[in-house]
Amino acid sequence: MNGQPKLSCHNVWKLYGPGAEDYLHKNPEATLEQITAADLIPAVRGANIDIHDGEIFVIMGLSGSGKSTLVRCLSRLIEPTAGELHFNGQDLRRVSEREMIDIRRHKLGMVFQHFALLPHLTVLQNVAFPLSIQGQSKTRAEARAREVIRLVGLEGRETYFPRQLSGGQQQRVGIARSLAVEPELWFLDEPFSALDPLIRREMQDEFLRLQALLKKTIVFITHDFDEAIRLADRIAIMKDGAVIQVATPEELVLNPASHYVEEFTRHIPRAKVMSVGSVMTRCEVGQSDSAPGDGGPGNGDQVATIPENARIADVAHAVVSAAAPLTVVDETGNTTGTISREAVISVLIGPGPAP
Amino acid sequence: MALPRTALLWSGLFILTWLLSAWSKSLAEAMDLSWMVKYPTAWVFPLKDYISGAMRWLVEDATFGLFTFTDATRALAWLIEKPYELVRALLSSGFERGFGRDAVQIVPPLSWLAVLAGVMALGHYARDWILAAIVGTSFAYLATFGQWDSAMITLASVVIAVPIGVAGGLFLGIQAYRHPLFDRLLKPLLDLMQTIPIFAYLVPILFMFGFGPVSALVATVIYAMPPMVRVTTMALKAVDPEIKDFGIMSGCTRHQITWRILVPSARGSLMLGVNQVIMLSLNMVIIASMIGAGGLGFDVLSSLRRLDIGGGFEAGIAIVILAIAIDRLSQAFAERDGNTAPVSTEISVLRRHPRSFIVLAVLILSMSIGQFAPMFQTYPEAQTLTTGAFWSETVKFLNISYFDQFEAVKIFFLKGFMLPIKRFFLGIPWPWMIGIVVLLGWKFGDWKLALINGLMALFIVTTGMWSKAMITVYLCGASVLIASVIGIPLGVLAAVNKRAGAIIGVVIDTLQTLPSFVYLIPVVMLFRIGDFTAMIAIVLYSLTPAVRYTAHGVASVSSELIEAGVVSGCTRWQILTRIRLPLALPDILLGINQTIMLALSMLVITALVGTRDLGQEVYIALTKADTGRGIVAGLAIAFIAIIADRIISASARNARIRFGLEAAHD
Ligand SMILES: Nc1ncnc2c1ncn2[C@@H]1O[C@H](COP(=O)(O)OP(=O)(O)OP(=O)(O)O)[C@@H](O)[C@H]1O
Ligand SMILES: [Mg+2]
């Protein structure tokens, strides 16, 4: 997470209404109440976000909290009222129309909530469309399009029209289309919200599979917290146009920045977000030989160690059914601590009554 | 409580107006106020002379430095004329060398069999064998009944006018979509263009382009383009914004967004616009036969003038058949929208384009055999059937045996219905009438509407059009009254009874495809010329919206309200009169509004049968090529239309608001 961010936005505002720019110029620190009192609609208020190479950055918030507006500002689909945008260090708000078109053709991809497929084109033509806009020859564009269509598992349907496909299949086309140009930065605006829950789950798996393969930098919008914690490396929570916390899913649950975030995360099963590392009993690194109690050769237990960054939910069964606390190791295999059955159970059923 | 009071107010005003109208003559004489009844000629503002002068200057003296205005119109005429001549040669006259009588045909036109095969192939391509059969039968009818040549001339005009109208409409529509300011400027202009009767634009066009097919084509394009402009702007606005965003995100340029994203996505709606352009073009090409378009319209017109009933009727039916064939074909194309499975490129060219090959084969065969056996080239004249004599005989028989009955009906209506209305409108002193128009605008709309109404009415008075305008109002009012009395019950019937609805739907659809000209023919035959004939033709032409809007309004009353009525024990009759009709009132009003618009546009055409209204004024201007007179009379008609439209739309809106409130109280 060090080095230059892929995309960073600094103090980005978007107000709707007449005279928004003037107003913001005069009141750069305007509060929500002041803005509404001035008959303006605050869609995004002073957002600061850095998105790093290769991460899945999720933007979360209730309906109307300004997620789409923020992402549309980041991609310059709409012009922010104020603020700075940098993409690979380049000032996005200063680039010319021509350069912006070039950046969009080669470096950005976007997937839309309602798929936004062109109704008059077949699957193949839809996927090849951005390539043909770049000016690639038809044969090359179609060859590449077939490749990505295979990647999303739609081969055999190249000649179908969008209306002949199910919602999930249509969104696969949308994903294939945005991947065809091999974008460096990939925006997805609630890509799975229009799908029913079972298909949504399937598409999330598909998405994770693709990301493991392609390692894109991703900005993903959702209003579904379950989806966010399944996919996110980091999550930004928005409320009334402001970004109120940016953190890993675990941090959000453990250290909510405000009461609002706490409310937001309350119903989330903690075992799904908390890692083993956050509840284990720490010990000196590298003491693997003299781990207390368990792990001895006489025990014959195969699951002797568990990784530190695993989610509790994934290892709960192993820990609870083990006779003694298990050893925890980090990525390099060094022992960092132990995890006991009590620790896991208290995460699973929640903390007991306060003493 | 408020309702009866206003009702009382309006009926009081009406009675007062009636009395005033009846006694105005004597009153004016007694009080020496005759200027109130008859607008003095000396006060007329000579607007029409100014317009004629400006037009003359434009044609004779205006110059843009390098070239004159006349050069510009000539260049435009050339651009339209060349493709028209090509298509006309292909379809009807063949390619000739030399001029006039010495002309020798070097290449004959497409054989009738080839054209027949062509349109059938189009029908099959656009939908299926049934459509191919319908279109084929229609064209075969044209051939067997000896209407082929005229029909092909009409078709040639449509073939040229439609692409120009569509391309122009698309262009203007896209500009309006891109530049909101242009959109706002264009809208009132389009409104005006659609309310000014067609004949009014024929006059200046005739002046600029002279008598002939070019004038007719220019008029056709101007007439048919406005709906395409509107449809384009609306269709582009209706494209899903996400799709547009996708276009931007893929790095499309503005040009690519328009042509590769927006226009193809909106194709379905755009095709409906194309269908409208086609139907309007056909309608106008028929009317434009007056300024030299030739073809079927000319046949009807000259038969009407000769009182050749059979000939007129046959040409009229040919128009109807051509219109239905073209309409079905273009609708099928509109509905087709890319449903074809893409064909693999591996199979042979012949298998991929079977229809084109069959048509080509028919073309080559029929034209080469046609060299020896002309019946393959042109449909043999000896084989044509004619029903002309039959129609003439029938009408003659009807006229002889039932003369008294027809005459009685006519006189009954004239004496008992039309003349009183006419006297009423002509008797009202013009300042009083203007006052009423302003009052209506103020009551139903706001002060702005009142002001606009007043200004438009003043225009009509000061340009010296008042009494003709009142005849227009009377003729139109009487026709609309009858159309409503017939149309509204039919609409109700169509809404409450499924079987009747289906039948009425078909009849109404067919009535709507017919060019306005056609309505005159049967009526003139039975009732000869005059106001009564005009009224019947207008009623027939303008009936459609009264039926359609009523049916829609009655059918779309929410079923919850009906159930509420049933539960509270209403009889079917009570449900109709207490629930459905009142709630359908806004729709019915809009239907009547449309009926008025159609009636006004038909009025000008009925000038052919000798009415004495503004329509006749336009028609006279046309025959004398008097631009100013035509434009002023045309504007007067447009203003009457606009006044009626604004008042009725405003009252429909009021009614909707009122019912919204009532429903809220329940
Ligand atoms: N073009 C616009 N004009 C005026 N207000 C707008 C416009 N677009 C968005 N808004 C307002 O900005 C706020 C944020 O909208 P936005 O679409 O970004 O919300 P969202 O978080 O994406 O919601 P959802 O989950 O429903 O998609 C909303 O209050 C909305 O009403
Ligand atoms: Mg959104």
Is the model more confident about B322 or about A314? B322
What's residue A29's pLDDT? 83
| Chain B contact for A267 (CB, 8 A cutoff) | no
Does residue B90 come out as left (phi exceeding 0), alpha (psi in the -120 to 50 range) or beta? alpha
At residue B420's C-alpha, the angle toward residues B629 and B44, to 5°, is 25
pLDDT of A348 higher than 70: yes
Tens digit of pLDDT for each residue in A171-222? 989 999 988 888 999 999 988 888 888 888 888 988 898 888 888 899 999 9
Contacts of B271 in chain A (CB under 8 A): none
pLDDT of B2 higher than 60: no
Tens digit of pLDDT for each residue in B261-303? 999 998 888 888 888 888 888 888 878 887 777 888 888 888 8
For residues B274 and B230, is the Cβ–Cβ distance under 8 A?
no
ipTM: 0.83
At residue B57's C-alpha, the angle toward residues B56 and B63, to 5°, is 130
User: Ligand 2: distance of its center to the CA of A65 in Å?
Assistant: 8
**Nearest-CA residue for atom 30 of ligand 1:** A64
What's residue B169's pLDDT? 93
- pLDDT category of residue B344 using cuts at 50, 70 and 90: low
Q: Say how far apart CA A215 and CA A189 lie, in whole Å.
A: 18
Q: Say how far apart CA A38 and CA A18 lie, in whole Å.
A: 10
**Cβ under 8 Å to B: A residues 158-217:** 159, 161, 181, 187
Average pLDDT score over residue span B407-427: 87
Length of chain A: 355
Which ligand is nearest the CA of A64, by number? 1
Out of B246, B253, B261, closest to residue A110 by CB: B246
Question: Which amino acid belongs to residue B129?
Answer: W
Domains of chain A: 7-270 (3.40.50.300), 276-349 (3.90.1280)
What's residue B3's pLDDT? 59
A65 lines ligand 1 (CB under 6 A): yes
Task: Measure CA B541 to chain center.
Answer: 9
What's residue A292's pLDDT? 45
Residue A228 Cα distances to A57, A61, A223, A272, angstroms: 9, 10, 8, 11
A1 lines ligand 1 (CB under 6 A): no
Least confident of A334-343, B59-68, B463-472: B59-68
Which ligand is nearest the CA of A224, by number? 1
Average pLDDT score over residue span A19-47: 88
Rg (CA), chain B: 27
The structure tokens listed for B118 are 């062509």
What's residue B121's pLDDT? 85
What's residue A13's pLDDT? 93
3-state secondary structure of A336: strand
* B265 to A114: CB separation less than 8 angstroms, yes or no: no
- pLDDT category of residue A336 using cuts at 50, 70 and 90: confident
What's residue B1's pLDDT? 44
Which residues on adjacent β-strands are paired with residue A239?
Answer: A242
Q: Say how far apart CA B261 and CA B265 lie, in whole Å.
A: 6
Tens digit of pLDDT for each residue in A60-94? 998 889 999 999 999 999 999 999 999 998 998 89
Please report the DSSP string for B252-293 in residue order. Answer: --HHHIIIIIIHHHTHHHHHHHHHHHHHHHHHHHHHGGGGT-
Which of the given ranges, B244-253, B564-573, B589-598, has the highest pLDDT on average?
A: B244-253
A78 lines ligand 1 (CB under 6 A): no
pLDDT of A301 higher than 50: no
Q: Say how far apart CA B18 and CA B12 lie, in whole Å.
A: 10
Domains of chain B: 70-94+109-339+346-380 (1.10.3720.10), 402-658 (1.10.3720.10)
User: Ligand 1: distance of its center to the CA of A11 in Å?
Assistant: 18
Tens digit of pLDDT for each residue in A260-300? 888 878 777 777 788 887 778 877 665 444 444 444 444 44
The structure tokens listed for B621 are 């201007």
Least confident of A284-298, B319-333, B528-542, B616-630: A284-298
pLDDT of B97 higher than 80: no
Is the model more confident about A268 or about B642? B642
Tens digit of pLDDT for each residue in B545-585? 889 889 888 887 877 788 888 888 888 888 888 888 888 88
Residue A266 Cα distances to A245, A311, B211, B259, B484, angstroms: 16, 18, 83, 50, 66
Walk across the sheet containing A56-61 and list its strands. Answer: A108-111, A185-189, A217-222, A56-61, A234-239, A242-247
Residue B222 Cα distances to A181, B202, B598, B619, angstroms: 46, 10, 18, 18
Average pLDDT score over residue span B309-320: 82
For residues A332 and A309, is the Cβ–Cβ distance under 8 A?
no
DSSP H helices in A92-216: 97-106, 123-134, 138-151, 167-179, 197-214
What's residue B348's pLDDT? 65
Tens digit of pLDDT for each residue in B354-402? 777 777 777 777 777 767 767 767 777 777 777 777 877 887 888 788 8
Contacts of B369 (CB under 8 A, 6+ apart): B376
Return the closest-CA partner of residue A209 out of A172, A246, A180, A235.
A172
Least confident of A5-9, A243-247, B345-349, B366-370: B345-349
| Chain B contact for A157 (CB, 8 A cutoff) | no
Return the closest-CA partner of residue B606 out of B513, B518, B481, B520.
B520
Return the closest-CA partner of residue B205 out of B119, B213, A1.
B213
pLDDT of B246 higher than 90: yes
* B341 to A105: CB separation less than 8 angstroms, yes or no: no
Is the model more confident about B554 or about B342? B554
What's residue A297's pLDDT? 41
Share of chain A above pLDDT 70, in %: 92
